[in-house]
Structure 1
Amino acid sequence: MNNNNQNVLDDDRIGRLLLKLSLPAFVGMFVITLYNVVDTIFIGRYVGPLGIAGLSIVFPVQMLSMGIGQMTGMGGASVISRLIGAGNIPKAERALGNAITSTIVLSAALMIIGLSDADFWLRLMGASETILPYARDYMTIILIGMFFQTFAMALNGLIRAEGNARVPMTGMIIGAVVNVILDAIFIIPLAMGIKGAALATVIAQFISVAYFLRYYFYEKGFLKIYSRNLVPELGILREILAIGIASFARTVAGSITAIFVNRVLVAYGGDFAVSAFGIVNRIMMFALMPSIVIGLGLQPIIGFNYGAKRYDKAMKAIKMAIVAATACCVIVFAVLYLAPEPIIGIFTTDNGLIALGVYAMKRVFLFLYLIGFIMVGSIIFQSTGKATQSFATAVARPFLFLLPVIFILPRFLQLDGVWLAFPISDVLTGILTLILLVPQIRELRRKDIFTGGEAIIGVH
């Protein structure tokens, strides 16, 4: 064990610490986003709009894979960082082993289910007969290599829980560089089309996983992987999944929403509308990135200080994160509205698709500046072990608000109803997050005043 990582989190300069953890997380998240965006750019320019539509149909499956990795990674990270803060290193290493085991089992289950009848699942997700061949070619390869995407996502969060943001950042950069190079080789000179994009992604994710495992086995990591800790322990596993289920629910909800949106788009706008949504969805990944990475940087800070009963530092970090995330969203909003055509034009040269993409983007991102507060709020609940509140904020936007609005609004506004459903759900989710977050802040203040209050570790 190496105490350097603990010293990183035990820092009174909260603003500097948040920046130190968030910047590498930004690079890592930027790279994760590139996996999908680079594929879309190459496919859009060398295969065409139907290729983009195929990627859009398969995207919910990739979201499920990422959701599993986020569930075990974020859930494990919350438990690990709080245990490190409380000085309980043996249980932190057992939590690491349990997070890894659950990742392996769940990703294997998803792969088997997906490959059992690919065409059935693709049609269920909204693939028309013209989109189906493209979606099938991409999804089959992605499912075969599904484990590497899920495991890379989980290890990214688990390593960051120790306060080490450098390794996750470096591992994802390596994978992204490989992905871009292989995309260019497989799609352009080898003319492998959408299959080449999928193969490039799988190989790149494998390389990222290999790099992450090297950290645990060959570098001086704070925690180590031992075979004895891979055996599931019900108490630890329950805590990991209870906290991580919010991340999974958020991603699953996004996946289900994407499926439903694709089906509605086919009905009201055809394959072209699905292609436009595919592009807007990729841009959305970049737009949300600042809020997500600030949350990732915030998580170990809150977890460590909550476990160490330093509630004043936890509150200071929360305030800084909310302000920073909101400011970033305002900046991104301004950029998207000032230069929409060049941004959409990165993905396609089709003028009709560019026009529809710009029209959709301006409506979908109407209240983007609320997302920072919503994202950070959910991370706060996760980091302090508030599974119920975290789950509620994760599923509210897609299930409670977005899906009902998408079901109703297009009946009156046609295709516009689909695009406008997104900002409406953002406003409603922001209100719910505020209602749930106020009692949490009050609780932290009480614990800060009455220092005898017990920290919520949650693993016994």
Structure 2
Amino acid sequence: MAKVSSEALGIEPIGKLLVRQAVPASIGILVMSLNILIDSIFVGNWIGSIAIAAINVVLPVSFFIAALGMAIGIGGSSIISRALGAGHKEKALKTFGNQITLTLLCTVSLVVIGLFFANDIIPKFGGRGDIFEPAKIYYTIVLYGVPILGFAMMGNTVIRAEGKPKFAMIAMIIPTVGNLLMDYIFIHLMDMGMYGAAWATTGSYLACFLYIFWFFFSKNSELKLSFRHFGLQRNIVSEIGSLGGVTLARQAVVSITYLLMNNILFNLGQEGLVAVYAIIGRMLMFALFPVFGVTQGFLPIAGYNYGAKHYSRVRETINTAIKYAAIVATLVFIGLMIFPTEITSLFLSDNPNQSAKELALNQYVLTHASTPMRWVFAATPIIALQLIGAAYFQAIGKAIPALLLTLSRQGFFFIPLILILPEFYGELGVWISFPIADVLATIVTGYFLNKEVRKELIVAETS
């Protein structure tokens, strides 16, 4: 049964297959995004706007370390998908074993470093003023659970590479449900404040890890490891590193972006603008879940068929994925353009017993968030091409173009824009940097994707 599941990636109709892969991925991402969204709503209503800003300061740090697991997972999963497509199961097993060893070594090392330099890291990411103390509480506790999250994220991508999207979806749902339940208990019932928010997050990581651990030891997985698979093998580690480095570099740039944004906005508007960006950042994670879901569903299909030399199916997968992702991105765009104020109000407490400072901060956020939100999402309908195009090169094992295209939006365009435009346009310069970067990155990605398809896939089909 498991073998048929992976072989189906090279047999079933692309449209049906993409829906089967993308819908569970989208649901999983939706639930995880809802976790972040509702968690922020709970924190904002039960603790305060400063707490939302504090979590926003910590997220890029913990996300970067956790992204090691995702990077190792995606890098290895590209190898696994192509190996299964080519019938090389032993290579798939060795790759998975090496992924586990690398995740353990990397995440634990970085957590130790992160804890040692906590007092230096937090202010650099915008945790200044009233934000510092709650940010440090959240940072310290959540960092303990990051290695567990790293394993969970690595394992989730491998499950998807096996062609088991429903199990991957469940793995993403479990920590969300757990986190929200623990939020209610620790924050609302037990009044633990930031400590409760942090322990709820860490506990949810553990729940996800335990489920993924069970999956690989059950009959549902076709990847059954022995001790010989855990020894690091240079060529596999090199390939995991080169392909996973794309994901890690992307997350590193995201972390740098948060660092710059939090500091630039703090200088422009103190805690108020940092809180505005925190809410917009949650919507960036939440609103685009179906687009990210299509991208996740696209990866194993493209990788498997490329490994099996089914080039016409690879081309069909690219076109279908872009079409599906563009449709849902446009729907997201319409909703955000119409309801920015209503969305912002969900994150703010209406409790009249708040301090005068909290009430003033809430009012500032409510009146200032709508215009930035519209600017940030202004180019959403076209991002499908950029995401699918960059993912294609990663799926087929071409690390350098995948890396360059993945970094194009934030690394090559967005970061220079937010360093330059605010000097001339102030706060507006920050927000208009988002759609400008989206447009430029999409143009570049479209050019190189079209060139690659014409050069390799079409030529291979006709030869």
Same fold per superposition (TM over 0.5): yes
Structure-1 residue corresponding to 2:431: 419
Partner of residue 412 from structure 2, selected from 395, 400, 403: 400
Deviation at 1:68, TM superposition (A): 1.2
Count of residue correspondences:
450
Q: What residue identity is the alignment partner of 1:170?
A: I
SS in 2 for 1:12: coil
Aligned equivalents of 2:49, 2:204: Cα separation in 1: 25
Aligned equivalents of 1:352, 1:265: Cα separation in 2: 14
Deviation digits for residues 295-331 of structure 1 (CA, Å, limit 9, x no counterpart): 1111111111111110001110110001111111110
Deviation at 1:380, TM superposition (A): 0.5
Cα RMSD for the two superposed structures = 1.3
Q: Which moved more, 1:163-172 or 1:345-354?
A: 345-354
Distance 1:29 1:147, change over 3 A: same
Deviation digits for residues 318-366 of structure 1 (CA, Å, limit 9, x no counterpart): 1000111111111000011111122111211333212222121011111
SS in 2 for 1:3: helix
Structure-1 residue corresponding to 2:28: 28
Aligned equivalents of 2:276, 2:131: Cα separation in 1: 14
Partner of residue 367 from structure 2, selected from 355, 370, 377: 355
Aligned equivalents of 1:34, 1:256: Cα separation in 2: 24
Structure-1 residue corresponding to 2:112: 112
Aligned equivalents of 1:10, 1:404: Cα separation in 2: 42
Deviation at 1:416, TM superposition (A): 1.1
SS in 2 for 1:269: helix
Note if contact 1:217-1:225 (Cα within 8 Å) is conserved in structure 2.
Answer: no
Q: What residue identity is the alignment partner of 1:449?
A: T
Note if contact 1:36-1:282 (Cα within 8 Å) is conserved in structure 2.
Answer: yes
Note if contact 1:76-1:99 (Cα within 8 Å) is conserved in structure 2.
Answer: yes
Deviation at 1:278, TM superposition (A): 0.4
Q: TM-score, normalised by structure 1?
A: 0.95
Aligned equivalents of 1:220, 1:134: Cα separation in 2: 42
For residues 131-146 of structure 1, the aligned pairs below 5 Å read: 131-146=131-146
Aligned equivalents of 1:196, 1:371: Cα separation in 2: 37
For residues 210-359 of structure 1, the aligned pairs below 5 Å read: 210-349=210-349, 350-359=362-371
SS in 2 for 1:163: coil
Q: Percent identity?
A: 35
Q: What residue identity is the alignment partner of 1:364?
A: V
Aligned equivalents of 1:205, 1:366: Cα separation in 2: 33
Deviation at 1:231, TM superposition (A): 1.1
Structure-2 residue corresponding to 1:458: none
Note if contact 1:12-1:313 (Cα within 8 Å) is conserved in structure 2.
Answer: no
Q: What residue identity is the alignment partner of 1:158?
A: V
Deviation at 1:117, TM superposition (A): 2.2
Q: What residue identity is the alignment partner of 1:438?
A: N
Residues 1:371 and 2:379 aligned together: no
Note if contact 1:54-1:135 (Cα within 8 Å) is conserved in structure 2.
Answer: yes
Aligned equivalents of 1:365, 1:133: Cα separation in 2: 32
Deviation at 1:66, TM superposition (A): 3.7
For residues 434-449 of structure 1, the aligned pairs below 5 Å read: 434-442=446-454, 443-449=456-462
Q: What residue identity is the alignment partner of 1:382?
A: Q
Aligned equivalents of 1:357, 1:9: Cα separation in 2: 43
Distance 1:361 1:104, change over 3 A: same
Note if contact 2:7-2:85 (Cα within 8 Å) is conserved in structure 1.
Answer: no
Deviation at 1:410, TM superposition (A): 0.7
Structure-1 residue corresponding to 2:158: 158
Structure-1 residue corresponding to 2:358: none
Note if contact 1:95-1:236 (Cα within 8 Å) is conserved in structure 2.
Answer: yes
Aligned equivalents of 1:402, 1:171: Cα separation in 2: 32
Deviation digits for residues 187-216 of structure 1 (CA, Å, limit 9, x no counterpart): 011111122111111111111111111111
Note if contact 2:376-2:432 (Cα within 8 Å) is conserved in structure 1.
Answer: yes
SS in 1 for 2:276: helix
SS in 2 for 1:223: coil
Note if contact 1:138-1:198 (Cα within 8 Å) is conserved in structure 2.
Answer: yes
Note if contact 2:152-2:208 (Cα within 8 Å) is conserved in structure 1.
Answer: yes
Q: What residue identity is the alignment partner of 2:404?
A: A
Q: What residue identity is the alignment partner of 2:462?
A: I
Q: What residue identity is the alignment partner of 2:293?
A: V
Aligned equivalents of 1:226, 1:61: Cα separation in 2: 34
Aligned equivalents of 2:389, 2:206: Cα separation in 1: 32
Aligned equivalents of 1:231, 1:439: Cα separation in 2: 39
Deviation at 1:405, TM superposition (A): 0.8
Deviation at 1:164, TM superposition (A): 0.5
Q: What residue identity is the alignment partner of 1:173?
A: I
Note if contact 1:66-1:251 (Cα within 8 Å) is conserved in structure 2.
Answer: no
For residues 68-83 of structure 1, the aligned pairs below 5 Å read: 68-83=68-83
Distance 1:2 1:260, change over 3 A: same
Deviation at 1:62, TM superposition (A): 2.6
Note if contact 1:3-1:222 (Cα within 8 Å) is conserved in structure 2.
Answer: yes
* 4+ residue segments displaced more than 6 Å: none
Distance 1:38 1:110, change over 3 A: farther
Q: What residue identity is the alignment partner of 1:7?
A: E
Aligned equivalents of 1:435, 1:369: Cα separation in 2: 18
Note if contact 2:253-2:410 (Cα within 8 Å) is conserved in structure 1.
Answer: yes
Aligned equivalents of 2:85, 2:98: Cα separation in 1: 19
Distance 1:66 1:423, change over 3 A: farther
Q: What residue identity is the alignment partner of 2:11?
A: D
| Structure 1 unpaired stretches of 5+ | 451-460
Structure-1 residue corresponding to 2:400: 388
Q: TM-score, normalised by structure 2?
A: 0.95
Note if contact 2:66-2:146 (Cα within 8 Å) is conserved in structure 1.
Answer: no
Q: What residue identity is the alignment partner of 2:119?
A: D
Q: What residue identity is the alignment partner of 2:170?
A: T
Deviation at 1:248, TM superposition (A): 1.1
Note if contact 1:63-1:252 (Cα within 8 Å) is conserved in structure 2.
Answer: no
Note if contact 1:371-1:426 (Cα within 8 Å) is conserved in structure 2.
Answer: yes
Deviation at 1:251, TM superposition (A): 1.1
Q: What residue identity is the alignment partner of 1:373?
A: L
Structure-2 residue corresponding to 1:64: 64
Note if contact 2:330-2:381 (Cα within 8 Å) is conserved in structure 1.
Answer: yes
Aligned equivalents of 2:243, 2:117: Cα separation in 1: 32
Deviation at 1:181, TM superposition (A): 0.5
Q: What residue identity is the alignment partner of 1:323?
A: K
Q: What residue identity is the alignment partner of 2:77?
A: A
Q: What residue identity is the alignment partner of 1:445?
A: I
SS in 1 for 2:288: helix
| Structure 2 unpaired stretches of 5+ | 350-361
Deviation digits for residues 368-397 of structure 1 (CA, Å, limit 9, x no counterpart): 112211111111010111111110011111
Q: What residue identity is the alignment partner of 1:421?
A: S
Aligned equivalents of 2:232, 2:31: Cα separation in 1: 31
